[in-house]
Amino acid sequence: MTSPDEDEAKLESAASGGENKAEYVRDVFSRIAPRYDLLNHLLSFNIDKAWRRKAIAELDIARNPRGRYLDLCAGTLDVTAALTKSTGFSGSVVSLDFAEPMLRAGRSKVANQRVDLVTGDALQLPIVTSSIAGAIVAFGIRNVADLDAGLKEVYRVLAPGARFVILEFSTPRSTVVNTGYQLYFRHVLPAIGGLISGHRTAYRYLPRSVANFPVTEDLARRMRAAGFDDVRWRSITMGVAAIHVGVKRPL
């Protein structure tokens, strides 16, 4: 049992990209997995479901409805489940996450679907180069220990012309909106999350990891540096979140 001061030090180090980030993320998400879905929908007022639908639409699966898709940092499989139910989809999904308890908590959502649940590292994807028809990550890319290496690894496994879609929290540009957002994000959300999850730092990690994550323009720049073409992004819900899209260069 660690002390509050030790927990705080681990939290700050992980949120700012310290050496313990991978270990911290795996431990935290493994421990909060049983309450993760409840808290996600409660703390986002169910807006997260609409955000995921918008992100999945950006994959444009009509281009290759029979392809094999990657749900990176798949968590409890909300994105995977929604993807398999998309109109016209007849392909398969590789759902990968660092924390096996998260995948286990969500597997009932994808029963009888063509889904491979994989416990693995986003920096070392166990996937053949240029074999994936499209990839998506929802609220997980900021948890990857090395963002630039993670972007390059996704680029490696995508087929030429395939899309990569990132859905992630961002910081609102409006001073008025951001003031209310920060009040909720830094004080209300951690208090409710800690109470229901039983983990005293997990939901304090969330706002701090967002604060340390690249702003929208910088994330787009880093996607281009990883090789992606046609990179674009848009803010949603007054800038609370953003969707980035990039394409692997065609042959």
Q: What is the pLDDT of residues 24-65, one digit of tens each?
A: 889 989 989 998 898 888 888 889 999 999 999 999 999 999
How far apart CA 156 and CA 47 sit, in angstroms, is: 32
- Give the tens place of pLDDT for each residue, 145-177: 999 999 999 999 999 999 999 999 999 999 999
What structural domains does the chain harbor? Answer: 4-20+38-44+172-211 (no CATH), 47-171+214-247 (3.40.50.150)
Q: Given a cut of 80, is residue 10 above it in pLDDT?
A: yes
Residue type, 65: P
Rounded to two decimals, the pTM is 0.94
DSSP code, position 188: I
Q: How many residues does the chain have?
A: 251
Q: What is the pLDDT of residue 43?
A: 81
| Higher pLDDT pick, 201 / 100 | 100
Q: Which residue has the higher pLDDT, 251 or 203?
A: 203
Distances (CA, A) of 14 to 27, 58, 75, 88, 135: 11, 30, 18, 40, 25
Determine the average pLDDT of the residues in 79-85. Answer: 97
Tens digit of pLDDT for each residue in 181-206?
999 989 999 899 888 888 878 888 88
5 burial level (CB within 10 Å; 0-12, 13-18, 19+): exposed
Q: What is the pLDDT of residue 85?
A: 95
Inter-residue contact 155 to 228 (CB < 8 Å): yes
Predicted confidence at residue 1, as pLDDT, reads 55
